[in-house]
Amino acid sequence: MIRINEHFLKLQASYLFANIAKRVEEYQVRHPEKEMIRLGIGDVTHALPPACIAALHQAVDEMAREDAFRGYGPEQGYAFLREAIARHDFQSRGADVDADEIFVSDGAKCDTGNIQELFATDIRVAVPDPVYPVYVDTNVMAGRTGLYQDGGYEGLVYLACTEANGYIPQLPAEPVDLIYLCFPNNPTGATITREQLQTWVDYARAHKALILYDAAYEAFIRDDRLPRSIYEVAGAREVAIEFRSFSKTAGFTGTRCAYTVVPKACTAYGHDGRPVAVRDLWNRRHATKFNGVSYPVQRAAEAVYSPEGQAQVKQLADGYLKNAAFVRRAFSAMGFDCVGGDNSPYVWINGRRDSWAFFDLLLDKAGVVCTPGAGFGRCGQTYIRISGFNSFANVQKAMTRIQAALQ
Ligand code: PLP
């Protein structure tokens, strides 16, 4: 008899986006004449940068030639891309990361979801609340939690991110082994300072814990005082893995390319306390279960680091940042407490009412789609998330309508 992994049955159906889609559909039936503005999704809206498109075309042409065609590449990614990443994203900022510590993949979603396979099932896991759901659900599937009760899974340590702590999780009262951090944060848009991040690195070192640092939104950081990488913080190489993605940086959500950094010094422990290099485990896993990102896509990602590519991706992110800042200013002017919107494409707005009620109000009265904060965790109950991923004209129109609806 083939039996299932019972842990899958603990998973809560992802009501969030299905529920949003249902409400939007019902609204369209009621108001077929109304144009809706979607500021809820975390997907980019602008086309790929021209430098990436040119590199893609060229690589596709190479694939058509007998003398240039490439079959399987290295599972970890081509050296041309790993070296460009190490140089531009880390070494240029004084962060000590080598090309052979970079693992190119088809997405930060897969990597943040898969990484937990390397660790024992009885470790204690801490996640932020509100949270990018992938961190939680993959630990549920692996059997590291109990049942879902009152908005959370038993056995997980939820790190509250609230107005009271500036949306930066505090060190846990109970010891934890694996810590998920995400900055700039999805969904709150909050950023972390070097000193705050140092506190977490020091904690991890003292407790032989490991930090999984999701920096998928790093490209939106404009304040030079903020760390772009956890490896800008002293002592992080031994206790942190970092995830990056070209999705939001360069509009690759549909093209798919990301990478994970696992420094050689990064250490976890065997049951008898012997140290083990996490990089070697991840390398083994990656090479066993993944066969590399396609050559044209890696060439397109490499083009992000050319001078033209750098200028073009900056322009893309600047556009989304301008939208997010506009949203934040408009909500703040109406008296709402907000976080994000600078150094982040997301704005997290405290509506001071049930987040689904606020969602319905904005949809019904303004024809604007946002994301209800309750979908990201208990601490999101009174919040909504608005993203800057749209055109400036649409964002302006949306805010004019929202202002009228809330008067
Ligand atoms: N990490 C965070 C925090 C995200 O918000 C997202 C996408 O929305 C991802 C990772 C996934 O990125 P990718 O497109 O590389 O899978």
**Domains of the chain (ranges, CATH numbers):** 6-47+308-405 (3.90.1150.10), 68-305 (3.40.640.10)
Tell me which of 109, 131, 161 to substitute to probe ligand 1's pocket, judged by most ligand atoms within 8 Å of the beta carbon: 109
Task: List the residue whose alpha carbon is closest to atom 11 of ligand 1.
Answer: 109
Instruction: State what percent of residues in the chain have pLDDT above 70.
Output: 100
Q: Which residues pair with 388 in a beta bridge?
A: none
For residue 18, the model assigns a pLDDT of 83
Instruction: State what percent of residues in the chain have pLDDT above 90.
Output: 95
> Residue 104: what residue type?
V
For residue 407, the model assigns a pLDDT of 84
Judge whether residue 252 has pLDDT over 90. Answer: yes
Residue owning tokens 């007998």: 66
Q: Which residues pair with 160 in a beta bridge?
A: 129
Judge whether residue 175 has pLDDT over 90. Answer: yes
| Residues of the chain by 3-state class (helix, strand, coil), percent to 5 | 45, 15, 40
Paired sense of beta strands 267-269 and 275-277, if any:
antiparallel
Alpha carbons 385 and 336: distance in angstroms, whole number: 13
Q: Quick one: DSSP state of residue 273?
A: S
Alpha carbons 4 and 11: distance in angstroms, whole number: 14
Judge whether residue 17 has pLDDT over 90. Answer: no
Judge whether residue 383 has pLDDT over 80. Answer: yes
Judge whether residue 261 has pLDDT over 90. Answer: yes
* Residue closest to 156 by CA, chosen among 402, 314, 381, 378: 378
Q: Please answer whether residues 202 and 148 qualify as being in contact, where contact means their C-beta atoms are separated by less than 8 angstroms.
A: no
* Residue closest to 382 by CA, chosen among 352, 338, 344: 352
Is this prediction's pTM over 0.85?
yes
- Please report the atom of ligand 1 found closest to the CA of residue 248: 14
Residue owning tokens 């992802």: 14
For residue 185, the model assigns a pLDDT of 98
Alpha carbons 315 and 311: distance in angstroms, whole number: 6
Residue 289 sits at φ, ψ, to 5 deg, of -110, -5
What is the 3 state secondary structure string of 296-361? HHHHHHHHCCCHHHHHHHHHHHHHHHHHHHHHHHHHHHCCCEEEECCCCCEEEEECCCCHHHHHHH
Alpha carbons 21 and 27: distance in angstroms, whole number: 10
Pocket residues: Cβ below 6 A from ligand 1? 42, 107-109, 112, 132, 182, 186, 214, 216, 245, 247, 253, 258
**Three-state secondary-structure class, residue 391:** coil
Tell me which of 112, 115, 217 to substitute to probe ligand 1's pocket, judged by most ligand atoms within 8 Å of the beta carbon: 112
For residue 77, the model assigns a pLDDT of 98
Condensed to tens digits (0 to 9), the pLDDT of residues 87-133 reads 999 999 999 999 999 999 999 999 999 999 999 999 999 999 999 99
* Residue closest to 11 by CA, chosen among 156, 159, 153: 153
> Residue 76: what residue type?
Q
Gap from CA of 236 to ligand 1 centroid (Å) = 22
Alpha carbons 324 and 341: distance in angstroms, whole number: 5
Judge whether residue 15 has pLDDT over 80. Answer: no
Tell me which of 127, 132, 137, 161 to substitute to probe ligand 1's pocket, judged by most ligand atoms within 8 Å of the beta carbon: 132
Other C-beta atoms closer than 10 Å to the C-beta of 189 total: 29
Gap from CA of 370 to ligand 1 centroid (Å) = 18
Crossing angle between the packed helical segments 295-303 and 50-63, to the nearest 10 degrees: 150
